[in-house]
Amino acid sequence: RKYILNIHAKGKPFEKEFNWEKVARRTVGFSGADLENMLNEAAIAVARESRKAINMEDIEEASLKVKLGPSKKRLQDKREREMTAYHEAGHALIAHVSPHADPVHRISIISRGSALGFTLTPPEKDKLQVTKSEMIDEIAVLMGGRAAEELVFGELTAGASSDIERATRMARAMVTDYGMSALGPMNFSPQYETTNYSKAVGEPAKISDNLQQKVDDEILKIIEAAKNKALKTLKKHRKQLDAVSEELIKVESLDGDQFTKLMGMDKAKSE
């Protein structure tokens, strides 16, 4: 990644003390095209504002624009701001106290793309494998926003639709593909016959309706357990949830260090 960054950085002005190591950590998971677009966006921003050099704030804004889209008009409605702040704080808090979840990099109620707010938890390093514990914690993080809405407002919003979709997709993969449920190490996805060249032929073999119901039950069980875990955790740390949400409403965006300070405790780590 550093090599690709160096290639696309040629010809662009950067501050003298620019931290390339931090940029490399910030962009874990970025493709070569993402890195190129990010640096180009940062250079355009500097030129537009008639400044001489790219700084880390330019990189942060450019990376958000590449991954999430440009920022939009700020939320004006008081209740909408509060609900969005608690929703994002719910995600962030669960990520912070879950030992197998990635650390919080940024949390914001500034709208980007189709989202009213966002919580970024990029991995600290490239991952070639994922464990069951990591997937369970990730689903709990995804359910953290919905759990916060329920806890604080006694209400549910459509803003959790993307979280629910991702959680369902992950839980389904755990059951049908990875053998990470009580049903055991069996693949429950449609099975195709293949040729010697791995080309699928014919109609896929499907599991029985009875077994499909068991698969669906296991998926729901994983998601419900994650949501209940998130709700219980938010109740335990309600003081921190309120503190993060209230600060978000004031400043709209918090970086990882600011968030950790408000939490008043270090990120939980697996043993």
Residue 99 per-residue DSSP state: T
- Here the contacts of 34-37 (C-beta below 8 Å, separation 24 or greater) are 34/66, 34/67, 35/1, 35/4, 35/5, 35/8, 36/4, 36/8, 37/62, 37/66
Query: Given the DSSP bridges, would you call strands 253-255 and 200-205 parallel, antiparallel or unpaired?
Result: unpaired
Supply the DSSP string of 166-231, one letter for each residue: HHHHHHHHHHHTS--STT-S---S-EEEE-TT--EEEEEE---HHHHHHHHHHHHHHHHHHHHHHH
Cα-based distances in Å from 98 to 93, 104, 139: 9, 11, 11
> Which residue in the list 41, 88, 218, 252 is annotated as catalytic?
88
Is 88 an annotated catalytic residue? yes
Phi, psi of 106 (to 5 degrees): -155, 145
Q: Tell me if 24 sits within 8 A of 63, measured CB to CB.
A: no
Given a contact cutoff of 8 angstroms between Cβ atoms, the answer to whether 247 and 254 are in contact is: yes
Which residues are identified as catalytic?
A: 88
